[in-house]
Amino acid sequence: MGSVRELESIDVPVLVLPGVDPQHPAEVASLYLEHLRYPTVVEQAAPDMMERLSRFCDELDWRGGR
């Protein structure tokens, strides 16, 4: 992303997985969460991570809506 305005223009649900290493700092996820319209965050260390990822996908309306 070139700017937060680009993040703010995204009009679909977005799954955010905060990074846990130096190349993927958690601060980037925080920035995304602050500026995305429909963010869902899933922590990578969450014991139910796979279930939450699956639920996010299942809840998407693949016909083009939210």
Query: 62 or 12: whose pLDDT is higher?
Result: 12
Torsion of CA 36, 39, 31, 48, to 10 degrees: -170
| Residue 1 DSSP class | -
pLDDT-based confidence at residue 13 (cuts at 50, 70, 90) = very high
Question: Which tens digit of pLDDT belongs to each residue from 21-66?
Answer: 889 898 999 999 999 999 999 998 889 999 999 999 998 876 555 5
Give mean pLDDT, residues 5-17: 93
pTM over 0.75: yes
Question: What SS3 string covers 12-65?
Answer: CCEEECCCCECCECHHHHHHHHHHCCCEEECCCCCCCHHHHHHHHHHHCCCCCC
Q: What is the DSSP letter of 10?
A: -
